[in-house]
Structure 1
Amino acid sequence: MMSSVPALRTSDLIGRDAELEQLSSQLGIRASEGVGGGAAPIEQSVRAMLVAGDAGVGKTRVLMALRDAAIEAGWHVVAGHCLDLADSSLPYLPFSEILGRVMADQPDVATRVLEQHPTLARLQPGRRVRSSETASGDQALDRGNVYDAFSDLLAALAHDAPVLVVVEDAHWADESTRDMLSFLFSRPVPGVSLVVSYRADDLHRRHPLRRQVAEWMRLRGVDRLQVEPLRDDDVRLLVRALHPSTMSEAEYSSIVDRAEGNPFFIEELVGAAWSGQVPGELADVLLVHLDRLDDTTRQVVRLVSVAGRQVSHELLAAVSDLGAAELETALRNAVESHVLVASRGGTYAFRHALLGEAVYDDLLPGERVRLHADFVSALGEGRAIGTAAELAQHARRADDRPVAVRASVEAGEEALAVGGPSEAATHFLDAIELVDTARVAVPDVDAVALTRRCADALIAAGRVPKAVKVLRARLATLPADGSDLDRGQLLTSLASAQLLTDTTDSPRETSAEAVELLRGAPPKLLARALLVHAQSLGSWHADDARAVALEALEIAERNDLTSLAVELHTTVAGLDPDGGSSASAGWRSAAERARRAGLMEPELRALYLLGRLHHDEGDLDTAIDVYREVIERSEVGGLAWSPYPAESRLLLAVALTHQGRLDEAWDLLDVSGQNPPMVYEWLYFAHQMLILIGIRGEPKPKALERLRDYWGTDGLTAISSGSAELMRAAAAGDAAVAVDVYDHVVETVVPLWHDWFQARLRLATLVLGALANAAPRQSADERESARVAVERMLADGARVIDFYAPFDGSHGPEYQMWVARRSAEHLRWRWLAQVDPPSSDELVGAWRAAEETAVAYGSVPEIAQARVRLAGVLRASGDAAGAREVADLAREAAHALGARPLLDELTAQGSSPAPATATGGVALTPRESEILALVAEGRSNGEIGKQLFISTKTVSVHVSNILAKLDAASRTEAAAVARRRGLI
């Protein structure tokens, strides 16, 4: 029943749980067993529901779910539909459909009622006769007869189970159907519930159903449910259900914005190939709204579509050639027909944004240009008030390029003034495109200055790679004998952008060339170039950087270049700690100086560097506070996605992760709906996967596969994602995969950074851990072959340690933690692989050091990991009490983190918070269980003794006991019995 109701393209009911619950509870539908045999209707609070909502909002999908719930509860469900047949609609059409369904599903009931009411037979589908044949005779369709007959039909159907009657699309109902519904609403049939749906947006002021809905709502036992558009979060869920592959945040945001929560619109936008226009099928549906409008109203509606998302009455009056009264009448008609909506501020907009797009797409090309030109004239001559952005849009589409360029630049400056760098960048990019493609020069527009301004806006919006691309494109247009001033300024901007992104280019070389070109330039340009060059030299060339920065500072102070002086103080604070205070105090002072001067970007940079300093020193609490300060200050200035706040968000999540606050870190990086630049979207997602897959052990291989496509966009993305893959491989003991991942990460990151980047020490150590985990399952030959990979990881780690040895500032507690962990993992591999195995004291001492350095840094996940490994070596060395104590601490942390790999590793060690229990009638001691596992791996008694730091003779005794307990004749049989009984 309701078989003709079309299904959505996804079978999931998304975002409608509340509506379904309201309908089910108010109508008394509850799933129950054994319904039938004369069951009475379930108690309910209403007998009829009106379900209203705009076209495509999901009324039918909710009713389908209600149908399923009713059938599950043992109800009969019948449905009829009204059709848009204009004046030729057949009377009682939905009830004719219901009669046909009853005759097909319950012919006995239908036959009995038809015998009592022959009149009802005239409603049978396929037997509707022409009115000329029914004008005489006893069987004329008398309304009273029809009402009584249909009421008796429903009563008969409800004799053995409750009945749900659904009538859809009542906005198309003929007069006879509306009267039948009025009868059923006012004279309810026991055991029968009625649900009627209609499109709220179709009920204009003169619609015949509008009055009747108001009358029905006054009846007792009748209620209404308004199906609202989906919330943004539910829109995202629906998009994911329709389009399981990954979408960028920009694509999600576009669909959320354009669809306005309407599921039908969402499906069409997701399913259509992106062309910038409304999909054809959707446009046809939307443009039906215009068919009932008169010509004048349609003309005004087209004018509104050209205006954009919203237009003032004043601007419409200035552009339209209609008189005031005629314009007001047309607007009133459009509003009453639910095409436009009017705001209290005197503006008009389309009820659905997509309808406006469809109307605009339907205009002829010449018609669009003419109407846009009318808007340019009205705004440019001051006949109406508008923004520079509006003027730029209309001038661009009217092909008035000089006006469009000047208006776009003005719009960009206005956007920057109110903290909208992303919007500003868009306007500047439009202006650049118009300048480059203009057939004539645009007066008063400096293409080089415009490009630099655009790059600044792009960087402030977090779109640094795009800024680099724009600057390079402008440099390529400069003639070989062009101005050194222009080239030098562009190179300064380019080097500044290169410092903020991972690139294979050298910002140091770029900035050095800029300085040489600007040596004879005005002081402001030279000081800026020197500042950028000092930043590019950084701590790797601290002496040179300090000299360049001090030269720039002297120029800035001598020429009263206040803003540059403030930025230079930030740079000097990190390069000249001997100048009177620590770097920490210097950066805090620089941040406060920038704040007093009202310079947001230098303030954010100083705070970011201060947070990094505390982070590197292991003061995670203070680092977290400073990172939060960066984020909060950036939001004040509209710079939330500029590089320093955006990276501070990631580093804040990293610090929270180290503190074991994984859920806080996850939520911080969940930027759904915030539309960050894609590079940060994937960077944040990579760290989320490090939490989910690496630490918590969730199986999400496809997520890691998708992330690999974005490793090259940012080195941290590759390191976070690669670390998650390495941790997963280590948990699985898959050394080959771990080595392959390591090589891929190094291959990706080295061109972006340098050969011996510090995180390489951590990556190599994780690979050593994976090699150690794999060793117990390897043969002697395989373990000997693994020595090559182990030695390579050791050598790579040693090169990193040697590289950073001259830089005292890089030897923070996190660095020390990984140095200690590297040594401990190497010894663990030697122990488990029995390749030059260490003594138990040496092994325990190394893992004690790994634990101590992890505690010193305060990294909860790394403390837990070190303790898991320490418990294993303590247990093997015979210190059962010490192993138990350390394992309990590790287990507590692992449970708090939700770290399944750590818990699994504790279990594999034989460490358990509860005493061992007998399985299959066999009770093995913890040591016997440990030896049995090694026997199953094919280890000899000698190898087992070396690994467990006990004598070969002791191992032999334990093996004999195990064989006796398992009633096994050989080691092979013992292993087979143990696996069968779940002992290993």
Structure 2
Amino acid sequence: MRHPHGTLVGRAAELDELTRAVGLAEEATGSRAPAGSAVLVAGDAGVGKTRVLDELSRRCAAAGWTTVTGHCVDLGDSAVPYLAISEVLGRLSAARPVEVEALVADHPALARLAARPSDGPALDRAELVHAVHALLEALGATQPLLLVLEDAHWADASTRELVGVLLSRGFSTAVSVVVSYRSDDLHRRHPLRPHAAAWARTPGVRRLTVEPMADAEVRELVRSLHPEPLPHAAVETIVRRAEGNAFFVEELVGAARSAATATDGLPEDLADLLLVRLESLGETARRVVRVAAVAGQEVSHELLAATTALAAADLEDALREIVERHVLVPTEHGYAFRHALLGEAVYDDLLPGERVRLHTTYAEVLQAGTVSGSAAQLALHARAAQDPVTAVRASVRAGRDALAVGGPEEAARHFETALELAADPRVQAELDDLDRSDIGGAAAKALVSAGQVGRGRQLLEDELARGAELSDVELADLLATLSYVHGMADAGDPLAPIEEALGLLERAGSTDEVRRARYLARYAKALLVHDRETEAGAAAAEALELAAAHDLHSLVADVRVTLARIDTGDDSSDAIERLEAAVEHAQRSGGLNAGLRARYVLGFFHYRRHDLESARAVWREVMTIADRRGQPWTPYAFEARLMSALSAYQQGAWDDADALLDTTTRRPPEELVGTLRAQRLAVVAARGGPDGIATVRELQAGWEADGLRVLTVAAAGIDLYGDAGDLAAAIDLHERAVSTVARLWHPLFQAQVRLGALLVGQLATAVERGGTTAEQRAQLVARAEGLVARAEEIVRGRAAADDPLGAEGQAWVMRLHAEVDRLRWRADLDPPPAEELVERWRACVAGFEAHPHVFERARSQARLAAVLQATGVTDEAAGVLASARQAAVRLGAAVLLAELDRLGARPPAETGRPTVLTPREREILALVAQGHSNGQIGRQLFISTKTVSVHVSNVLAKLGAASRTEAAAIARRRGLL
């Protein structure tokens, strides 16, 4: 904490660590020039983070650095995207105007961010991130730059994402980024919590926790703040009550001074303490403080003047008194409370009527336009002023503003606020010109764009429940949007609501061709879900004609994608050209969803043709474009992520799949986390992750509504349970998964062939291990025969529907038959001839080559090799085993390696046993090879030294090394580094 004469009390260790972290210490000694760095500063509210960062900024400025601070502000539900970044841009423009002006000219996104327009095209998020990064990088090249972002716990979603990108990219020039946040605010559901955890794990990012002050430091701070000696008992009371929190210390000491009483006589509650502090101010000053508290953490001089209505001289006198008493501090744009908790306490102390009156004044000033302010600010004040009509209109504008700068989450909150307020019939009566169904549709679409499809669906269902209040056209619009939500993420049947919407439109006698065009486009897509391609083509053709007639370019592009999808159903040679043409048209139209959908469908077509590399390339474009537009979790981008991860898994690029499915570096909406974790289980099961079974059990909670999650959890779970020897659990999981998906989708859904093949494989392996009775083996064979019968029924049904299984489906059918024969062979129950068994497995290996699947091909090879060994074809068996082992080692598939070991397929003695290291073990091994100690590794990876020690011991054991040096040598020899 700062001494009145400028000396910081305590915090020497934190400051030393910070100066080293940002490169200031090295620059001062001349050992090196400062390089790009990043530090996270965490601590409880009031513990002293801001004071430490102020001192760091002062030291950097004294050393010739450019220092700039941006503040995240608590606007509640009225978050303004990139507010802190806008502040930084303004401060940099003032500090280095010539350079910044040139860089803004090169990066127009910076100019739009500074202007914050409410209309015009939405900011391209990738362009904005690139522009901010380029700005900082360029400024750091000519003069060291310290960027401090304070109070990230109040950051909006867009700012959190931007900070994450800046930290992960880093800087090649002398740019140091310090981000602070309240650790005690990060409750389990706080939006910053997963981001902070991910930031802390980013390579090169350090984390500093500002702990409570020691008692001795508190006493020193008391003495510095209260030069006149306080009684010992009073000092000790402050030490006890402050609990090391510097802000509490300052307020307790300040209250003791202003009240001229012993601290024992003060209320223990901090709010009461702040009231004592305010009593030392004059009446006019107290009034100004109360008005400032209603504005929030910071208020401009102009807005404060307008809301207090004081004469200029009176306001200046009051502000001088307030600043001298350390209640408010001057800022570049006005005044801010010296500590956020102080402003909150003052606000909470206002009388209810007083609070409403002041919010009313703010709303009137902002509405009059005499002082600049955002629609979000107006919405906040109007709502608190009990003016719901103004709040609704402002919230709708704030929602549009948020969408304009790529903030769908913020937009959704504003729209939902408007709907909540407009639900009051008295409010509705004054909003005749406001289309509630339009707001509901906008809110639902914003939620979908933010990846919160379930919440969007619930919102629409709530709006539809108003039924009698809606006109036919309003009801139709909501139903059409519901169809859109259902179709975007397999959230329900999209056909019924759009059919009802078209019927309502006809009943209403509507001649609105634009609305009909949009409905027909949605109708065509819904028909495709039910494989009614002829009807879909007719609806799409009419929609295209109407859309073209009314110059609805984005809709034209979307309908062209639908028509291209219908045309590519036969896998004809010119299908790719038609889809690429649809992509190009969608790109020209500028419609985000049309463009994402066109690319997603193109990627899926490549996947269906087994060109996984091309599919992944297209899906990467989908994710990149969605990310640029601030919608990384919109359904097409999310589905592209899932399919890209699946393709990477099948190709054997498991680290790529892991990165795509990681839920820690970029936290997705909660409703998507389970699906991502479920798909990641495939890698966990193959690599033998220790927490796999626990994750399977956890993900079964609430899986009844998500068929995809059921399938992915069951596929991995069957292997995990089977490999652990719990055959009963594997069988139970299979049965529950099949019955659940059959209810959700169709009794003869194709994926149950794969689940059946995996289960029979585990049955055969269980018999192979021994310990089963003749009766048990007969029961297992009977179960397998039932699965084969169901698979054959599925194949016949698909053939009858002129929709035969593709190469992947055929591969799993072959695998099922091969596993059943292996089971019979191991159980010695009507075993097939050896030649037939060999051919079964050869066909299975070929099947997973036709639709490339590296792991399943290698697993099939292992079982083919077992049969070849048993039939005496040892030369071929050796070659097959070598191929399977090579794949298993590269993948780190520990379970498959164990199976190969049982076949006697160990590597040559001079090479040693193939080493299967987890990703964390590889990371630690690399640091061991660089000579780092366990403590150094722990600090770099943000794990305990004890955990590092355990990992190092495991690595030494796996490598057969007696020392860290030997482990590093073996790792280099085996190509593990």
Question: Relative to 1, partners in 2 of residues 1:348 and 1:645: Cα closer, same or farther, differing over 3 Å?
Answer: farther
| Cα distance in structure 2, aligned partners of 1:59 and 1:723 | 51
State the match for 1:317 in structure 2: 305
| Cα distance in structure 1, aligned partners of 2:805 and 2:797 | 11
Question: Relative to 1, partners in 2 of residues 1:619 and 1:808: Cα closer, same or farther, differing over 3 Å?
Answer: farther
Task: Give the alignment partner of residue 913 of structure 1, picking from 907, 911, 915.
Answer: 907
Question: Relative to 1, partners in 2 of residues 1:615 and 1:327: Cα closer, same or farther, differing over 3 Å?
Answer: farther
Shift of 1:19: 5.2
1:5-39, CA deviations, whole angstroms, 9 ceiling, x for partnerless residues? Answer: xxxxxxxxxx999959999xxxxxxxxxxxxxxxx
Question: Relative to 1, partners in 2 of residues 1:53 and 1:471: Cα closer, same or farther, differing over 3 Å?
Answer: closer
Shift of 1:548: 2.0
Shift of 1:322: 5.0
State the match for 2:539 in structure 1: 548
| Cα distance in structure 1, aligned partners of 2:16 and 2:871 | 60
Greater gyration radius: 1
1:750-782, CA deviations, whole angstroms, 9 ceiling, x for partnerless residues? Answer: 343322333222112111111111123311110
State the match for 2:765 in structure 1: 773
Task: Give the alignment partner of residue 479 of structure 1, picking from 468, 489, 494.
Answer: 468
State the match for 1:567 in structure 2: 558
1:36-435 map, 5 Å: 252=194, 284=269, 294-295=280-281, 300=288, 302-308=290-296, 310-321=298-309, 324=312, 343-344=331-332, 346-349=333-336, 356-435=343-422
| TM score, norm. by length of structure 2 | 0.63
Shift of 1:250: 7.2
Shift of 1:708: 1.5
Shift of 1:320: 3.0
State the match for 1:119 in structure 2: none
| Cα distance in structure 1, aligned partners of 2:180 and 2:43 | 15
State the match for 1:873 in structure 2: 867
State the match for 1:466 in structure 2: 455
Task: Give the alignment partner of residue 501 of structure 2, picking from 494, 497, 514.
Answer: 514
Structure 1 counterpart SS, 2:532: helix
| Cα distance in structure 1, aligned partners of 2:349 and 2:390 | 26
Task: Give the alignment partner of residue 885 of structure 1, picking from 871, 879, 890.
Answer: 879
State the match for 1:456 in structure 2: 445
User: Does the CA contact (< 8 Å) of 1:658 and 1:860 recur in 2?
Assistant: yes
Task: Give the alignment partner of residue 491 of structure 1, picking from 479, 486, 502.
Answer: 479
| Cα distance in structure 1, aligned partners of 2:733 and 2:697 | 12
Question: Relative to 1, partners in 2 of residues 1:231 and 1:559: Cα closer, same or farther, differing over 3 Å?
Answer: closer
User: Does the CA contact (< 8 Å) of 2:451 and 2:669 recur in 1?
Assistant: yes
Task: Give the alignment partner of residue 660 of structure 2, picking from 631, 650, 668.
Answer: 668
Shift of 1:453: 2.1
State the match for 2:520 in structure 1: 530
Shift of 1:628: 0.6
State the match for 1:611 in structure 2: 603
State the match for 2:73 in structure 1: none
Structure 1 counterpart SS, 2:399: helix
The residue type paired with residue 574 of structure 1 is R
Structure 2 counterpart SS, 1:383: coil
Structure 2 counterpart SS, 1:439: helix
| Cα distance in structure 2, aligned partners of 1:517 and 1:601 | 26
Question: Relative to 1, partners in 2 of residues 1:384 and 1:805: Cα closer, same or farther, differing over 3 Å?
Answer: same
Structure 1 counterpart SS, 2:373: coil
Question: Relative to 1, partners in 2 of residues 1:58 and 1:372: Cα closer, same or farther, differing over 3 Å?
Answer: closer
| Cα distance in structure 2, aligned partners of 1:384 and 1:483 | 40
Structure 2 counterpart SS, 1:311: strand
Shift of 1:622: 0.4
1:619-634 map, 5 Å: 619-634=611-626
| Cα distance in structure 2, aligned partners of 1:895 and 1:329 | 76
1:43-91, CA deviations, whole angstroms, 9 ceiling, x for partnerless residues? Answer: xxxxxxxxx997779899xxxxxxxxxxxxxxxxxxxxxxxxxxxxxxx
State the match for 1:897 in structure 2: 891
| Cα distance in structure 2, aligned partners of 1:56 and 1:487 | 48
1:447-475, CA deviations, whole angstroms, 9 ceiling, x for partnerless residues? Answer: 22222222222222222222222222222
The residue type paired with residue 906 of structure 1 is L
User: Does the CA contact (< 8 Å) of 1:249 and 1:676 recur in 2?
Assistant: no
Structure 2 counterpart SS, 1:428: helix
| Cα distance in structure 2, aligned partners of 1:566 and 1:20 | 53
Shift of 1:747: 3.3
What are structure 1's unaligned runs of at least 5 residues? 1-14, 24-51, 61-200, 202-227, 266-277, 917-984
The residue type paired with residue 509 of structure 1 is A
Question: Relative to 1, partners in 2 of residues 1:54 and 1:550: Cα closer, same or farther, differing over 3 Å?
Answer: closer
Q: Which has the higher contact order (CA 8 A, sep 6+)?
A: 2
Question: Relative to 1, partners in 2 of residues 1:331 and 1:804: Cα closer, same or farther, differing over 3 Å?
Answer: farther
The residue type paired with residue 536 of structure 1 is A
Task: Give the alignment partner of residue 642 of structure 1, picking from 634, 658, 681.
Answer: 634
1:669-708 map, 5 Å: 669-672=661-664, 674-708=666-700
| Cα distance in structure 2, aligned partners of 1:389 and 1:311 | 15
| Cα distance in structure 2, aligned partners of 1:314 and 1:412 | 26
Shift of 1:694: 4.3
| Cα distance in structure 2, aligned partners of 1:729 and 1:336 | 69
Task: Identify which range, 745-754 or 869-878, moves more after superposition.
Answer: 745-754
| Cα distance in structure 2, aligned partners of 1:757 and 1:348 | 64
Structure 2 counterpart SS, 1:910: coil
Alignment pair present for 1:722 and 2:722: no
1:554-604, CA deviations, whole angstroms, 9 ceiling, x for partnerless residues? Answer: 333344443322211111111134999843322221221121111111111
What are structure 2's unaligned runs of at least 5 residues? 1-12, 22-40, 50-149, 151-176, 200-206, 213-247, 253-266, 911-977
Question: Relative to 1, partners in 2 of residues 1:800 and 1:316: Cα closer, same or farther, differing over 3 Å?
Answer: farther
Question: Relative to 1, partners in 2 of residues 1:802 and 1:289: Cα closer, same or farther, differing over 3 Å?
Answer: farther
Structure 2 counterpart SS, 1:576: helix
| Cα distance in structure 2, aligned partners of 1:323 and 1:581 | 79
Task: Give the alignment partner of residue 745 of structure 1, picking from 737, 747, 752.
Answer: 737
Aligned residue pair count: 684
| Cα distance in structure 2, aligned partners of 1:536 and 1:53 | 49
User: Does the CA contact (< 8 Å) of 2:42 and 2:209 recur in 1?
Assistant: no
User: Does the CA contact (< 8 Å) of 2:379 and 2:394 recur in 1?
Assistant: yes
| Cα distance in structure 2, aligned partners of 1:418 and 1:628 | 23
User: Does the CA contact (< 8 Å) of 2:781 and 2:820 recur in 1?
Assistant: no
| Cα distance in structure 2, aligned partners of 1:395 and 1:567 | 39
| Cα distance in structure 2, aligned partners of 1:535 and 1:903 | 46
1:792-838, CA deviations, whole angstroms, 9 ceiling, x for partnerless residues? Answer: 32233233333433567774332232222222212111111222111
Question: Relative to 1, partners in 2 of residues 1:835 and 1:659: Cα closer, same or farther, differing over 3 Å?
Answer: same
| Cα distance in structure 2, aligned partners of 1:693 and 1:340 | 58
Question: Relative to 1, partners in 2 of residues 1:247 and 1:685: Cα closer, same or farther, differing over 3 Å?
Answer: farther
Structure 1 counterpart SS, 2:434: coil
User: Does the CA contact (< 8 Å) of 1:775 and 1:832 recur in 2?
Assistant: yes
Question: Relative to 1, partners in 2 of residues 1:734 and 1:562: Cα closer, same or farther, differing over 3 Å?
Answer: same
Structure 2 counterpart SS, 1:509: helix
Question: Relative to 1, partners in 2 of residues 1:682 and 1:334: Cα closer, same or farther, differing over 3 Å?
Answer: farther
Shift of 1:289: 7.2
Shift of 1:898: 1.7
User: Does the CA contact (< 8 Å) of 1:775 and 1:833 recur in 2?
Assistant: yes
Question: Relative to 1, partners in 2 of residues 1:406 and 1:818: Cα closer, same or farther, differing over 3 Å?
Answer: same
Question: Relative to 1, partners in 2 of residues 1:469 and 1:53: Cα closer, same or farther, differing over 3 Å?
Answer: closer
| Cα distance in structure 2, aligned partners of 1:634 and 1:866 | 38
